[in-house]
Amino acid sequence: MALSKKIRKILVIGFWLIISAGVIVLLVAAVKGKQQKTCSGFEIQINGDDQQLFVDKAMISKVVLSNGTVTGKPLDQFDLKAIEELFKKNVWIAKADLFFDNSQKLQVRIVERQPIARVFTGLGNSFFIDSSLTKLPIGEKFPVKLPVFTGFPGEKNKWTASDSLILNGMKQITGYLEKHPFWAAQVAQIDINSAHEFELIPTLGNHVIELGDGFDVDSKFNRLWQFYTQVLTRTGLNYYEKVKVQFAGQVVGVKTASAASKADSIQAIRNVEQLIRDVQLEHERMISADSTQAVPVQQN
């Protein structure tokens, strides 16, 4: 009886050893077969803003072909990691993935950095930043309309703790402006003062909006909107020299030193009212567009 169990055990072990050996042989054959295959070409895909690419397919092709033609080259002669590292040297490329598809075509997938703001330092130097707060060079070939920040204190490539705090504030502000077209149009630029706080320069009106730091921006802009709709519609855009929204739960208006003429005040009020009407019309247009795109539900 014991001998029978030992025989069955040996047979089972032998069976699995044979299966394992077969799998290994198949895997080795598959790998060897793949290595013997050649590249059928390459295809580039850039994941970025189609209207404003800071890297193009010609630039990517040049890197891919830097060691000669790829079509007809054996797959085992490609060092894809090394090519990916070459792409990472380009500051505009956030990520690069290379792989061969089932038809042995080299797929080159590039993720491009997208700038969110243009920054001017106190010395007049300029650069872009993206959402990861990476410093990006200005390219004359690709003009970009972005929120503009002036007076940034950092001049070196490596950010200090204070610089990083300001940059994170920029990210919060630009994120809000991107979602609110009215404020994106009304804010002409954002200055960074000596206290490292943000001051908004409006497109219409002579007042300066003191935002404070770049955090809790939703609440600050909500209070600012209330001030525009409830106060400036009665006084005009030039009645206040400064509008302070950095204080929690309140808005402080500082009047201008010299009063505007009655005609100027009336025109200023009309300007504010027109701004409000434009926002309301844009809001209604967006709601109408959403409703027309909605899929009707059939009721039985």
3-state SS of the chain? CHHHHHHHHHHHHHHHHHHHHHHHHHHHHHHHHHHHCECCCEEEEEECCCCCCCCCHHHHHHHHCCCCCCCCCEHHHCCHHHHHHHHHCCCCEEEEEEEECCCCCEEEEEEECCEEEEEEECCCCEEEEECCCCEECCCCCCCCCCCEEEEECCCCCCCCHHHHHHHHHHHHHHHHHHHCHHHHHHEEEEEECCCCCEEEEECCCCCEEEEECCCCHHHHHHHHHHHHHHHHHHHCCCCEEEEECCCCCCCEEEECCCCCCHHHHHHHHHHHHHHHHHHHHHHHHHHHHHHHHCCCCCCC
The pLDDT score that the predictor gives to residue 209 is: 96
The pLDDT score that the predictor gives to residue 10 is: 65
d(CA 106, CA 40) in angstroms, rounded, equals: 8
Query: Is 91 within 8 Å of 128 (Cβ atoms)?
Result: no
d(CA 174, CA 89) in angstroms, rounded, equals: 27
The pLDDT score that the predictor gives to residue 53 is: 75
Structural tokens at position 152: 């940034």
d(CA 213, CA 198) in angstroms, rounded, equals: 6
The pLDDT score that the predictor gives to residue 158 is: 81
The pLDDT score that the predictor gives to residue 290 is: 46
Spell out the per-residue pLDDT of the chain, length 300, in tens.
555 666 666 666 666 667 766 666 555 555 555 556 899 999 999 987 666 678 889 999 999 998 888 999 999 999 999 999 999 999 999 999 999 999 999 999 999 999 999 999 999 899 999 999 999 998 766 667 899 999 999 888 788 999 999 999 999 999 999 999 899 999 999 999 999 999 999 998 889 999 999 999 999 999 999 999 899 888 888 889 999 999 988 999 899 866 555 555 566 566 666 666 665 565 556 545 544 443 333 332
Structural tokens at position 102: 């089932």
Other beta carbons less than 10 A from residue 91's beta carbon: 13
Residues 6+ apart with CB under 8 A from 292: none
The pLDDT score that the predictor gives to residue 236 is: 83
Long-range contacts of 2-9 (CB under 8 A, 24+ apart): none
d(CA 17, CA 274) in angstroms, rounded, equals: 83
